[in-house]
Structure 1
Amino acid sequence: MTGLPVSIDDVRAAANRIRGVAHRTPVMTSRWFDAAAGMRAFFKCENLQRGGAFKIRGAANFVFSIPREDLARGVVAFSSGNHAQAVAIAAREAGAPAVLVMPLDAPRLKVESTRANGAEIIFYDRLKDDREALARRIAAERGCTVVPPFDHPWIIAGQGTTALELLEQAPDIDALVVPVGGGGLISGCAIAARALNPRLRVFGVEPEDGNDTYLSRRQGRRLSIPPPQTIADGLRAQTPGAVTFPVVQQLVEDIVVVSDEEIREAVEEGIGTIVATPHFNDRYQPTQAQVEAAATELRSVLASNNLPVELHVGADVAVAPALKDVVTERPSLTIGGKGKYILLEPPAHILPDWLNDV
């Protein structure tokens, strides 16, 4: 492995830096899922992470790497939700002010969580405004530091701690499946995983309507796509990162693309969030149907029978229309329509118990 933006030593240093800020999340298994997918799967439950997603790893590593005199002037970031929450939490832990640039249609729960962590929020129209330009203008005006969502060595090293932990918890895995947005997570995980086990195979997963990395990899150069409209709202990057893409080219074996219909079917057929509830060995946390659909797709390309699936989701749960009958409205839940889905936005701390009652 040559010319990589970070090393395994950088990932280990990040793990030490974020200790006490990011959680060490558990790995779960499911006999039901193994039987359905025809392989043994290990789920790294980043939905139990602070902020509900893996993003705190990279954000905390970045924020705690900023020189103290610069950190005192604050940080600014742009995000549809998960990165925003992560930066807000990391900045609060570091005692620094934070400004978050978020789209007008960001999930309400993520907006509220970001604000609850003390961040100032500035909204933008994702179809009209350039969020990165807006964040950089704020940084120039206020003298604060931009915390990028994925395309920076500090972010990549932080996200790589996910795989570092996974390989300590499940050392005998043969392949790694990671969702791909801008590429920070898969880059960090691929660097860490391949450094620890050079034979380990790394696969990425993208939604069909957000397939910028899939297309770029096949063309051998970074391509841009129109704003994705996929229901996988955490994977709506328009172009892979300049720093992350070379890592994907070098270390990732393939990118699998799944359609929104496949994601929808995965939920409806019981591989997804709600129906899987009774089948996990321990108290079940919601999974990401997009990743699970990809696990089925990968059956034909994986020669071995040990497959770890990275879980990276927030507290929002998407339920297909066919599952409406199993949903009971409670005072703690807000139910609103979103396309062909019902969007449940329960507070993250009540979600495990609520799912056990569904």
Structure 2
Amino acid sequence: MNIDMIRAADARLEGHVRRTPLLSSPFLDEIAGRRVWIKPECLQHTGSFKFRGGWSAVSAMDPDVRAKGVLAFSSGNHAQGVALAAARHGVPAVIIMPSDAPQMKIANTRALGAEVVLYDRATEDRDAISARVLSERPLTLIKPFDEPFVIAGQGTCGLEIARQAAAEGIAEADVIVCCGGGGFASGIALALEADAPGLRVRSAEPEGFDDMARSLASGIIERNDRMSGSLCDAILTPQPGDLTFPILARLAGPGVAVSEDEALHAVALAFSRLKLVAEPGGAVALAAALFHAGEIEGDDVIVTISGGNVDADVFQMALERFGG
């Protein structure tokens, strides 16, 4: 993985990706005690940053290989990103999804033309299921985070952050990134290393599923004890990636873990103060900036809202519980 791959992905994404803005709110600044800048990837195609990696990977494939179709496994956001990228390239997509994924994500993935295979993430092994599908059909697997072209696509968000921070006069800041396996965070970290070395990536995760934070602290890859039981479904992964962890171990600061209530509170605040719809997993970075200010350095903090594909009942619960 290197910056040249990210710049090449950025060129392939031109004309296909949404260049999301950098937003701010004085109300959020007051809560955080510093200036908070929000990169709303919930406004991206398919409602999350995952379209970047999906398009990057599908567009980089040899046309003859791509024509045979692609396979992905995902709780929903990578699924939708790959499904849309495949549809726009006119190739089939099969997506393996946990049966407890938000119904909106399952429905949207099907609506984008993908064939969805459901499994029980508590009792079934998605790797075994994907291996069986690959043995039966000539598909190419696009991993959700431990895949160079996916990381390169996610890194294009970092190129945008670097340009936008420079335009706002931000030379030094923590950049808090919602983190599952680390594809988004590692791609952004590589982009910032090249184009904005004063900006430092920090991972944000839900409590109880903070494998990246624990891995960064110990220096070795740590696993989560469980794989379900959080509203932050979008960022629940068994452990950091073999490709992503070394990048973040070299470039990232300490990780931050937030409670589920803090994530829901951030969902409510994103809506009331910015009129953005965020899913809980996509709001953990904002929650870290707002409610863990003592763990952050500097006068500015940049956060990603990585996704907005939230079921109506969860969104309503956040608004009723915290009201913004």
Name stretches of at least 5 consecutive residues in structure 2 with no aligned partner.
Answer: none
For residues 332-343 of structure 1, the aligned pairs below 5 Å read none
Per-residue Cα deviation, 1:223-248 (whole angstroms, up to 9, x for no partner): 22221422211111111100001011
Partners of 1:91 and 1:320 in 2: CA distance = 32
Displacement of 1:302: 3.6
Displacement of 1:212: 1.1
8 Å CA contact 1:205–1:257 kept in 2: the answer is: yes
Q: What residue is the counterpart of 2:210 in the other structure? A: 211
Q: What residue is the counterpart of 1:23 in the other structure? A: 18
Name stretches of at least 5 consecutive residues in structure 1 with no aligned partner.
Answer: 1-5, 328-357
Say whether 1:222 aligns with 2:218.
no
Moved more, 241-250 or 162-171: 162-171
Give 2:179's aligned amino acid.
V
Q: What CA RMSD, in Å, does the superposition of the two structures yield over aligned residues?
A: 2.1
Say whether 1:257 aligns with 2:251.
no
For residues 49-68 of structure 1, the aligned pairs below 5 Å read 49-68=44-63
Normalising by structure 2, report the TM-score.
0.91
Of 294, 308, 320 in structure 2, the residue corresponding to residue 324 of structure 1 is 320
Partners of 1:238 and 1:192 in 2: CA distance = 25
Q: What residue is the counterpart of 2:293 in the other structure? A: 299
8 Å CA contact 1:136–1:146 kept in 2: the answer is: no
Aligned length: 314
Displacement of 1:300: 2.3
Partners of 1:86 and 1:323 in 2: CA distance = 27
**CA gap 1:322/1:198 in 2 versus in 1, 3 angstroms:** closer
Partners of 1:322 and 1:122 in 2: CA distance = 30
Q: What residue is the counterpart of 2:95 in the other structure? A: 100
Displacement of 1:95: 1.2
**CA gap 1:275/1:188 in 2 versus in 1, 3 angstroms:** closer
8 Å CA contact 1:88–1:119 kept in 2: the answer is: yes
8 Å CA contact 2:217–2:254 kept in 1: the answer is: no
Give 2:308's aligned amino acid.
G
Partners of 1:44 and 1:242 in 2: CA distance = 26
Moved more, 123-132 or 219-228: 219-228
8 Å CA contact 1:228–1:238 kept in 2: the answer is: no
Structure that is richer in helix per residue: 2
Partners of 2:12 and 2:268 in 1: CA distance = 35
Q: What residue is the counterpart of 2:277 in the other structure? A: 286
Percentage identity across aligned positions? 39
Partners of 1:36 and 1:72 in 2: CA distance = 50
8 Å CA contact 1:217–1:249 kept in 2: the answer is: yes
SS at match of 2:37: strand
Partners of 2:17 and 2:164 in 1: CA distance = 17
Say whether 1:111 aligns with 2:109.
no
Normalising by structure 1, report the TM-score.
0.82
**CA gap 1:175/1:229 in 2 versus in 1, 3 angstroms:** same
**CA gap 1:303/1:212 in 2 versus in 1, 3 angstroms:** closer
Give 1:69's aligned amino acid.
D
Partners of 1:253 and 1:109 in 2: CA distance = 34
